[in-house]
């Protein structure tokens, strides 16, 4: 087990290196002069030249990659072209809203989707099963900003129950913090609920046909315990895997949700950076999100043994 | 083996059945298909309608979708402006009709480009074992960047154009296809008929063309429909945050992006393109679900 953990942790290193390489080289894969791309359409030749020097474009590609990587390992993500602030600093200021939104969304999705999926599998073929499957198809077919606007229109504008947009740090109290995040969480959570409910249903359908489930029922275990203890525990591995993979969807969705609800998080930072062509910021955010994604999936892999002790490495 | 019939002609006359059985419920071929695959029919019809709208947009009572009429700004839906007009006085109905072209072009093109690129990489990786490790680590790296962020980063670097949107979304989508195809290739290589082909000296390109590619088509097609749906959503998101189709071209994402500033007072600007986008993506997803169930029920787990 320990050996496996070490091995699994080590395998993330080449993946992270590959990610870093892509993120760094994106700027050079794109056609045209990187300095001119960053400078934008209204730049004077002097601006382009200044950026060329600041990026060190006169030196070999791999040397620059090495230096860039070295800086990143020291927590230095470069400097924003637009604000001249360190990128790491700008990211740190935006992390709380995004992290809150994502954690709340994962909790929301788990709490809603897993019981729905279990219920759909238990009542296989019934109206509730159909409802869950339909919800899943709709969840996959509705872009997150459409859900966001719809929720905001109904619950904020028409019913006036919740604020239309904004964000309050948790430091200002739990209720103001939660109140602002309810609509964004539900909007972002819909696709995650769809994904989780579908995989939970599919896995539970498999598990409920197993002999040990029949045995448990035969010896008189209650329906609830059969579903949530005997069956769900054995369905946990695929479900947890999907939660891990779904984080990629969540990250993309968070960028959009934050624009809809005017949440000052990493998503807004990204969108602003795109409009200003502030490439170091875009690189920093993409790198951070990708590393998070890799680490979440590492954690998921290591969790397998907790849910299924038969898995021994 | 033959069954003795005991007649001179060598065959027995069918005994006349008493006319008491109720006539079996009969469906024509089309009826049977509709009954067996309702999602394919529903999804396919809706997709067909959208393709029709895209092709015949100029003849559907539309006006020039880029024509400005500053005096007619932000009119609510009426007889003159079926879906209302936007803040520059452009007719939203016409813009939505023409906008279907962008969504469909992007969806279908990305599905095709990502599938083709993914198949190429997957087959190479599955057949040339020495390259497999490197290729798959590269794909792992690409897959570790959340797809929407990768598309955003690529779009931030290039000039906004439909062409670049297609490339950016394809780059984000193809690694997953390559992983799917590689898995299929690896399992097919072990099949006796492929081993027999290798043993009888068939060249590798011929094996790939004759024995491998045909077996990847069903999963590839199902996967392509899901890529198409997700590409249409990604295009609208890219346009919505200002990193997609250029604002001069009406696309559903662009119309919604322009309606953003005023959506609290004039929600109809955002509403109509949103409904069309959702219906189209839903149709493609239904088609994909139906195809998956029809072509290979086992795929349900792999995808």
pLDDT of residue B7: 46
* Radius of gyration in angstroms for the set of CA atoms belonging to chain B, rounded to a whole number: 26
Q: Between A22, A256, A275, which is nearest B237 by CB? A: A256
pLDDT of residue A35: 73
Contact (Cβ atoms closer than 8 angstroms) between residue A192 and residue A109:
yes
pLDDT mean by block of 10 residues, chain B; 303 residues: 47 61 66 77 87 79 69 68 69 81 91 94 88 86 87 82 88 91 87 87 86 87 90 90 82 83 75 87 88 69 39
Q: What residues in chain A have per-residue pLDDT under 50?
A: none
Contact (Cβ atoms closer than 8 angstroms) between residue A238 and residue A199:
yes
Of A149, A189, A283, A97, the closest CA to residue B149 belongs to A283
pLDDT of residue B3: 46
Q: CB-based contacts of B52: which residues, under 8 Å, 6+ apart? A: none
Give, rounded to a whole angstrom, the gap between the first and last alpha carbons of chain A. Answer: 6
Q: Between A141, A157, A256, which is nearest B241 by CB? A: A256
Of A285, A313, A263, the closest CA to residue A80 belongs to A285
How far apart are the CA of B135 and the nearest CA of chain A, in angstroms?
Answer: 11
Which residues pair with residue B300 across a beta bridge? none
Model ipTM over 0.95: no
Q: CB-based contacts of B283: which residues, under 8 Å, 6+ apart? A: B42, B43, B44, B45, B46, B47, B50
The tokens for A289 are 């999100």
> Of A65, A145, A271, which to mutate for an interface test with B (greatest number of B Cβ within 10 Å)?
A145
| Helix (H/G/I), strand (E/B), else coil: B85 | strand
Which residues pair with residue A79 across a beta bridge? A86
pLDDT digits over A26-85, tens only? 777 666 666 776 676 677 777 777 777 776 677 777 888 888 888 888 878 777 777 878
pLDDT digits over B99-139, tens only? 888 889 999 999 999 999 999 999 998 888 888 888 888 88
Contact (Cβ atoms closer than 8 angstroms) between residue A171 and residue B269:
no
Contact (Cβ atoms closer than 8 angstroms) between residue B85 and residue B97:
no
Give, rounded to a whole angstrom, the gap between the first and last alpha carbons of chain B. Answer: 47
Residue A44 DSSP symbol: -
How far apart are the CA of A215 and the nearest CA of chain B, in angstroms?
Answer: 26
- Residues of chain B with a CB closer than 8 angstroms to some CB in chain A: 137-138, 140-142, 144-150, 152-158, 229, 233, 236-237, 240-243, 256, 263-264, 267, 270, 274, 277-278, 281-282, 285-286, 289, 300-301
Contact list, A271 vs chain B (CB under 8 Å): 241-243
Q: What backbone phi and psi angles, to 5 degrees, belong to A86?
A: -65, 135
Q: Distances in Å between the alpha carbon of A185 and those of A177, A207, A288, B94, B109?
A: 12, 31, 21, 34, 32
């Amino acid at each position: 087990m320990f050996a496996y953990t070490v091995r699994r942790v080590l395998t993330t290193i080449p993946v992270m290196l590959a990610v870093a390489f892509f993120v760094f080289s994106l700027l050079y894969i794109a056609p045209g002069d990187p300095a001119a791309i960053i400078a934008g359409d209204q730049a004077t030749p002097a601006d382009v030249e200044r950026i060329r020097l600041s990026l060190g474009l006169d030196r070999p590609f791999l040397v620059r990659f090495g230096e860039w990587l070295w800086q990143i390992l020291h927590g230095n993500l470069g400097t924003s072209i637009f604000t001249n602030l360190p990128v790491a600093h700008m990211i740190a200021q935006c992390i709380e809203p995004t992290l809150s939104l994502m954690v709340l969304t994962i909790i929301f999705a788990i709490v809603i989707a897993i019981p729905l999926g279990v219920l759909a599998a238990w009542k296989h073929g019934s109206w509730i099963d159909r409802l869950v499957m339909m919800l899943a198809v709709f969840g996959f077919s509705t872009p997150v900003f459409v859900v966001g606007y719809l929720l905001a229109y109904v619950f904020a504008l028409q019913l006036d129950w919740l604020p239309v947009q904004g964000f309050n740090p948790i430091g200002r109290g739990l209720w103001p913090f939660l109140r602002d995040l309810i609509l964004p969480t539900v909007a972002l959570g819909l696709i995650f609920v769809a994904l989780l409910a579908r995989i939970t249903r599919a896995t539970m359908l498999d598990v409920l046909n197993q002999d040990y489930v029949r045995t448990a029922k035969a010896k008189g275990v209650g329906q609830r315990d059969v579903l949530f203890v005997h069956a769900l525990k054995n369905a946990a591995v695929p479900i947890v895997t999907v939660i891990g993979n779904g984080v990629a969807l969540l990250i993309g969705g968070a960028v959009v949700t934050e624009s809809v609800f005017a949440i000052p998080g990493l998503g807004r930072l990204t969108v602003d950076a795109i409009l200003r062509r502030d490439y170091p910021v875009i690189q920093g955010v993409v790198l951070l999100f990708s590393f998070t994604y890799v680490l979440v999936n590492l954690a998921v892999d290591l969790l397998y043994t907790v849910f299924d002790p038969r898995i021994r490495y | 083996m033959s069954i003795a019939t005991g007649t001179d002609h060598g065959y027995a006359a069918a005994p006349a059945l008493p006319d008491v059985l109720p006539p079996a419920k009969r469906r024509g071929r089309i009826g049977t298909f509709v009954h067996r695959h309702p999602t394919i029919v529903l999804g396919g019809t809706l997709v067909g309608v959208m393709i029709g709208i895209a092709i015949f947009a100029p003849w559907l009572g539309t006006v020039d979708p880029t024509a400005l009429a500053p005096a007619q700004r932000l009119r609510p839906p009426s007889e003159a402006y079926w879906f209302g007009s936007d803040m520059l006085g452009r007719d939203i109905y016409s813009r939505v009709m023409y906008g279907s072209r962008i969504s469909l072009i992007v969806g279908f093109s990305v599905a095709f480009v990502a599938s083709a690129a993914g198949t190429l990489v997957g087959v190479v990786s599955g057949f040339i074992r020495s390259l497999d490790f490197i290729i798959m680590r590269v794909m792992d790296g690409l897959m570790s960047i959340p797809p929407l962020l990768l598309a955003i980063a690529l779009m931030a670097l290039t000039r906004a154009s439909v062409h670049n949107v297609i490339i950016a979304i394809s780059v984000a989508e193809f690694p997953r296809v390559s992983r799917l195809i590689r898995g299929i290739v690896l399992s097919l290589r072990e099949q006796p008929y492929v081993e027999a082909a290798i043993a009888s000296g068939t060249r590798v390109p011929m094996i790939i063309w004759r024995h491998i590619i045909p077996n990847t088509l069903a999963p590839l097609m199902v996967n392509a429909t899901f890529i198409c749906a997700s590409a249409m959503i990604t295009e609208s998101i890219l346009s919505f945050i200002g990193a997609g189709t250029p604002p001069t071209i009406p696309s559903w994402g662009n119309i919604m992006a322009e309606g953003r500033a005023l959506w609290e007072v004039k929600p109809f600007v955002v509403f109509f393109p949103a409904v069309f986008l959702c219906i189209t993506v839903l149709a493609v997803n239904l088609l994909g679900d139906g195809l998956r169930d029809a072509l290979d029920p086992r795929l349900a787990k792999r995808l």
